[in-house]
Chains A and B, each alone.
Chain A
Amino acid sequence: MLRPAPLLVSLFLLCIASFIIAFSVGSYSLTFEQIWSSLSSSQPSIQHTIIWELRAPRAYAAFVTGGLLALAGALMQVLLRNPLADPYILGVSGGASAAALFAMSLGLSSVWLSGGAFIGALISILLVFGLSHGKGSWNPTRLLLTGVVIAAGWGALINFILSSSPEKPLRGMLFWLMGDLSHAEPTILLLIVLVVALVITFFIARQLNILSRGELQASVLGVSVKPLRITLFLLASLLTAFAVTQAGSVGFIGLIVPHIVRLISGSDHRLLLPASVLLGGSLLLISDTLARTLIAPQQLPVGVITAFIGVPFFLYLLNKNFSKDALA
């Protein structure tokens, strides 16, 4: 178990390193000195343009999206008390994807695309929330099943749009579905959303620790479970909606990053949540750097890279953890 301070410091260093790599690697490589001089001066130069107009906005979008996804994933996991939960499990990305693909099939511009995706995500959130808070008792299984089925419904709609749309927009659609940052629109709003969410979650983090001991136990220990559950649901869903609007459905970040942090430093949400944001951001930034350089000049969707890195890494950690149990 790593103590809070060393963990956060090393994650912070990892963030800086991943930004430096993202700034330097590409069809036009930059040295550390070149990056430093373009960052510190406003003298117009080709390096300056490459960094400020190409690489920095994309690196920013990748980092913040990764942070949003990791935070949303950690919140979903404690909301559903299910280690398999990821930000997309309740159908938020399905709604966003269906709307975005619909916009693409109509040949609409990218503003419509992200606006549509956000609205699609909101519709999905309200649908799942309404259906799972209907008559009768509420429990995580009901929410999970409602969400999974709604997600399946969106899946059918997505397949319908894919199979009935003309050849031309298909490639863009597939990239969107796999998760791709090349169309991200880095705005300051994203960072504000992430920071506000972090502050809110820090305020409720100790309640989350108790909620992971079960809803009854949490009530007994003085947590008002219902408002907490609704906050969690809306927060996790909205974070996911913002992330999906930027980058489509980038897989694995939201699932594995919280687990990695738990394995390194335990389950205290006061540390888990900020650490997940830093690690998720760095991981997506590194993955995106690989995605745009690995088979350059062709670009890969970043979702392919996160899955390629995520699957073996997750399996490794899981096996390590279970073999530790066997010895105990």
Chain B
Amino acid sequence: MNHLQSIELSVSISNKQVCDNLNLNIEPGEVWGILGRNGAGKTTLLHTLAGLRSPDSGEILLSNKSISQLSRKQIARQLGLLLQQSEESFPSSVIETVLTGRHPHIDNWSWESKGDLVIARQALELVQLSEMADRSIDQLSGGERQRVAIACLITQSPEIYLLDEPNSHLDLKYQIQLLDVLVTLARTKQKSILMTLHDLNLAVRYCDKLVMLLGDGKVLVGDTETLLTEDNLLHLYNHPIKKIDADNHSVFIAN
């Protein structure tokens, strides 16, 4: 089974410590959230875990192999990352963009097969963009582009999904629907998810475990229920947040 581990991981960005000796063990089927203030290093941590930048010290293991020993293609078959920003210098159609997700699974000389196209179309169906398959990507709204990016990630079909603010640009309906889609994937197909979030109510709804980046290199790791206390949140955001216990779940409101 594929899983992602970090061992005594230390990451810093321009002299700011993001984490110090961080040990994570993300098992298949688990959904993890990363919480932290603006600039706490959530994106940096995700990029480090994806092997896009090297840590100051420590190691990242992907299915027990050090990520620094793997080629980008080997990594891409197991681990996908939803980026916060997209860049389309020469816009292509929605379906072509989504099909790029198959790249790690196809040889350099081969073309996408019918099977790849089926996978891409199914992913478009999941994000409800089937009708826009032939539209040019630069004619889409921000939210629609985000859905294309998610469809591309689903098309890549990795074992580990790293999501950098999966909700950005999405309206309330799609925030819930797309997280439902992704979390269902994790639960039923034994994939794991690690995502940065700003919405505590979504965190409590979807995440089994949390990573709280406190901003000074200190990190809290644990079960969602135990970590989401008013004290921790005050420390985390430097702003009071009220926790209200409703029927069988908690609701968070910023004071």
Contacts and interface: CB of A to CB of B under 8 A. Distances in A.
Interface in B97-120: 97, 100-101, 103-104, 106, 108-109, 111
B83 A221 contact: no
Interface stretch (A121-129, A202-210, A305-313): A202-210
Interface in B116-166: 138-139, 156
Interface string A294-327: 0000000000000000000000000000000100
Contacts, number: 86
B54 to A, nearest CB: 13
Contacts of B86: 213-214, 217
Interface string A235-265: 0000000000000000000000000001000
A222 interface: yes
Contacts of A81: 87, 89-90
B92 A268 contact: yes
A206 B89 contact: no
Contacts of A212: 88-90
Given A262-B90, A267-B90, A268-B92, A222 B77 contact: yes
B90 A77 contact: yes
A54 interface: no
B208 interface: no
Interface stretch (B20-28, B67-75, B180-188): B67-75
Contact of B108 (A78, A203, A225): A203
Interface of A: 77-78, 81-83, 203-204, 206-207, 209-210, 212-214, 216-217, 219-225, 262, 266-268, 270, 325, 328
25 contacts: A77-B90, A81-B87, A203-B108, A207-B103, A209-B92, A210-B100, A212-B89, A213-B86, A214-B86, A214-B87, A214-B89, A216-B47, A217-B83, A220-B52, A220-B76, A221-B100, A222-B72, A222-B76, A222-B104, A224-B71, A224-B73, A266-B93, A267-B90, A267-B91, A267-B96
Interface of B: 47, 50, 52, 71-77, 80-81, 83, 86-93, 96-97, 100-101, 103-104, 106, 108-109, 111, 138-139, 156
